[in-house]
Copies of this chain bind each other. A is one copy, B any other.
Amino acid sequence: MGKTKIGPSILIYPMPTLLVGAEVDGKPNFLAIAWCGIANGTPPMISVALRHERYTLKGIKQNGTFSVNVPSVDLVKEADYCGVRSGANADKVAVCNFNVFYGEVEKAPLIEQCPINLECHVVHMLELGSHCLIVGRIEETHVSDDCLTDGRPDVDKIRPFIFVSPPRRYQAFGEVVAKAFSVGLELEK
């Protein structure tokens, strides 16, 4: 099988579309990001990469707190909007009709319409180049009641979506391929 070198590229699939929330100058704002990953298991931590000039980053630095909200596919327009416009010159909460609520972490605004909401405290900030990599400790997680089955988060009700880039589009989750931590053991037979 032949291979082609395309130079150092950010080419990872799948990527999420998440809404990072912060209060900037006292007002809630949300930014769509795909550059996010789980950073630690115990205690639970998440990493998000934001371009230095991002308006939302200003708020995270002001408060040392932020939120991460997982949108459902019903919110694809709102999530996209939060990626193309800046809070510096748009009231994203108003345009998107977000109902904002708060949990225990101060100045970490949460979006009621998003089925999952994480409240975070900043524990590390790495200035890496074009972006600041923020590691946050997840202090609390909220799940919409209509996305629970037997009290547990149910991804088929949450209906998250994928950011696919290239070619810069959003896709739903598709067919179930296999059971994890299980199917691989067939190779030992």
Residues of A within 8 A of B (CB): 1-16, 18, 34-49, 51, 68, 70, 73, 76-85, 95-96, 101, 103, 112-113, 116-118, 123-124, 126, 128-131, 133, 135, 137-146, 148, 151-153, 155, 158, 160-188
Contacts and interface: CB of A to CB of B under 8 A. Distances in A.
Contacts of A46: 10, 12
Given A4-B143, A14-B16, 7 more contacts: A3-B143, A5-B142, A14-B15, A42-B129, A76-B183, A84-B181, A168-B181
Contacts of A117: 3
Contacts of A35: 37-39, 41
B170 A180 contact: yes
User: Top 9 closest A-B pairs, CB basis?
Assistant: A37-B37, A81-B184, A80-B184, A174-B174, A13-B160, A172-B174, A2-B145, A35-B38, A40-B128
A4 B146 CA distance: 10
Nearest to A133: B39
Contacts of A137: 8
A10 B42 CA distance: 10
Contact of A184 (B2, B36, B82): B82
Contacts of A140: 5, 7-8
Given A128-B135, A146-B1, A83 B14 contact: no
A3 B170 contact: no
B6 A153 contact: yes
Contacts of A143: 3-4, 6, 11
